[in-house]
Amino acid sequence: MLDTLRCRYPAVLALLAQLLALAALAVAVLAAARLGEWRPSLWQAALGQGGLAAALGHWLGLRRWWLPLNLAFVPGLLALQSREWPAWWFLAAFLLLLLLNWNSFRERVPLYLSGARTRQRLSERLVGLPADFRFVDLGCGLGSALVQLARDYPRARLVGVETAPLVFLFAWLRCLPYRNCRVRYRSLWDEPLGGYDVVYCFLSPAPMAELWTKARCEMRPGSLLISNSFEIPDVAPDEVIELTDWRASRLLLWHL
């Protein structure tokens, strides 16, 4: 069960780490009150809870990018509460985060954006393909890679899929001026890959093994799978393009 949560529902594990940390902190504060005179301040308690939640998240097997979220969650709430924000602000902030990161919960893919250098090198790598090649960006984010390719390859047929509602809307609007580019509100798992010459993704480590299984079942011989930075476990890429950016990004390519 823990493996299932870790792979498919990491947000549930993060919540569990928060609750366990809160419970442990409550026990520690009660014990300190009975055995001595020490009373932690609210900030000391919040920071202690955050540190414990991050440690528990690591122990439960969450990816590293979850750890700062666990660490900052309760201190962040305390900081916002101390500013006396109106109650509706918290609901608005939650809804905004949900609309931006909806796919983090189902697809385990946070919002990552392909940088300008990445988009340029991706475009350069596709030189030599037929002019009307078919390309899909799985989890297209704000549509930056699609817009770059739509300008560079006006005869190519480009598709992006995205399930975070606000991100999808932004990408859809950006791609409207380009006749060779479409953005669909669809899960990457529901998009058939057999009709594409190139499949590109910038996801997270969590879904890569499943994506490889999907690609091997659906993609045509001779097509190309490209992942920005994230490897497929136990499957060496056929090509690696180093991007030498501040994130030490790489384009990893597999020839199907």
Is the dihedral angle over the CA atoms 161, 165, 167, 173 positive or is it negative? Answer: positive
Q: Can you give the length of the chain in residues?
A: 256
Our measurement of the distance from residue 75's CA atom to the centroid of its chain's CA atoms, rounded to an integer in Å, reads 23
- What pLDDT, in 10s, does the model give residues 107-130? 555 556 667 888 899 999 999 999
Q: In CATH, which of 3.40.50.720, 3.40.50.150, 1.20.1090.10, 3.40.718.10 is domain 116-255?
A: 3.40.50.150
What is the rounded distance in angstroms from the CA atom of residue 209 to the CA atom of residue 69? 25
69-105 pLDDT, tens per residue? 777 777 776 666 665 556 555 555 555 555 555 555 5
Label residue 10 by pLDDT band (50, 70, 90).
low
223, exposed or middle or buried, with CB in 10 Å at 0-12, 13-18, 19+?
Answer: buried
pLDDT value for 8: 54
Start-end of CATH 3.40.50.150 domains in the chain: 116-255
